[in-house]
Amino acid sequence: MSNGIVDMLIAGSKEYSVLLTDSQIGELIKYKDILKEWNQKINLTAIEDDKEIIIKHFIDSLSIIPYLENKEIKLIDVGTGGGFPGIPIKIAFDKINVTLLDSLDKRIKFLNNVISELKLQDIRACHGRAEDFGMMEENREKYDVATARAVANLPVLLEYCLPFVKVGGIFIAMKGNSTEEVDASNKALDVLGGKIEKIENINLPFTDAVRNIVIVKKIKSTPKKYPRKAGKPTKEPIL
C-alpha cells in the first residue's frame, strides 16, 4: 500500500471532518484496486491514476458526509456508476443503509463484486432506471436521503430523485457550478415537492476545483404521476 495515497486519503477526508479508521482505509484501497482491475474490462471511470481516484472519486464522495444525520438513515444513490458517492459513504459511515441504483447491468455486476469482496453489510446494488424504480411502492418515499453525482442536470435529477425521498428527508445533488441549473429548477421543485435548503461551495482538497453541494429538502409528497415514463424527464424536463 502506498503511503502517499493513504496520507492523501486521511488528510483529504479530514477536511470534511471525516476521520477514517485503518480498516476503512484498507477497504477504500481494496475498492480502488478492484475498480482499476474491472475498469480494464468494462467502462467504469475515465480516471485511472491512483491519486486521481483518491481525490476525484473517494474524497469527493466523502464530502457530503457532513450533511448526513448521524443515525441509521436509508440512502439511495441514483446513477451510481462505479459506486460514487454511495460506496465510499457506506465504507466511511457504517451505520447507513445504502441502495445503489444504475441502469447499466454490467456496473451492477461490478458493484456486487465490490460488496462481496469487502463484505459490506446493509447495502444492495439494483439494476434499473430511476423512472421505473421510483414508481415502485417499496421505493416510493422510503429514503431519508437520495444522492446523485454526474447523472443529469438539476431539473431532471429532481424528477429522478425526489420520488424516493420521504417528506422531511433530503436530496443531495453533487455538482460543479450549479447556478444556471438552480435557476432553471423552480418549477420542478414546486411540482415535485422540494425546496432548496442550501447550496454549499466547497473546495476539493489538493485541487483548485470548487464543488457545489445542492441540498434539497422534501417539503411535500410528490404527485403520483412523477417520475414520468423512462426517457421523458430528459426529453421534456419540467421547466
Ligand X SMILES: C[S@@+](CC[C@H](N)C(=O)[O-])C[C@H]1O[C@@H](n2cnc3c(N)ncnc32)[C@H](O)[C@@H]1O
Measured distance CA(148)–CA(173) in Å, rounded: 5
Rounded to 10 degrees, the C-alpha dihedral 6/7/12/17 comes to 100
| Segment interacting with ligand X, rule: CB under 6 A, options 22-30, 64-72, 146-154, 209-217 | 146-154
Q: Does 130 bind ligand X (CB under 6 A)?
A: yes
Site map for ligand X, 65-84, x if CB under 6 A? --------------xxxx-x
Per-residue CA distances from 216 to 94, 168, 169, 196 (Å): 24, 10, 9, 4
Site map for ligand X, 2-41, x if CB under 6 A? ----------------------------------------
| Segment interacting with ligand X, rule: CB under 6 A, options 5-13, 26-34, 123-131, 136-144 | 123-131
In the complex, what is the shortest distance from the CB of residue 215 to ligand X, in angstroms, rounded to a whole number?
17
User: Residue 165 carries which side chain, given as an amino acid letter?
Assistant: V
Query: What is the footprint of ligand X within residues 149-208 (CB under 6 A)?
Result: 149-151, 160
Query: What is the footprint of ligand X within residues 87-116 (CB under 6 A)?
Result: 101-104, 107
Q: What is the grid cell recorded at 50? A: 491512483
Per-residue CA distances from 143 to 125, 134, 147, 170, 217 (Å): 15, 11, 10, 9, 12
Q: What is the grid cell recorded at 145? A: 436521503
CB 164 within 8 Å of CB 78: yes
Q: Which residues make up each annotated binding site for S-adenosyl-L-methionine?
A: 79, 84, 130-131, 149
- Interface with ligand X (CB under 6 A): 79-82, 84, 101-104, 107, 129-131, 149-151, 160
Q: Which residues make up each annotated binding site?
A: 79, 84, 130-131, 149
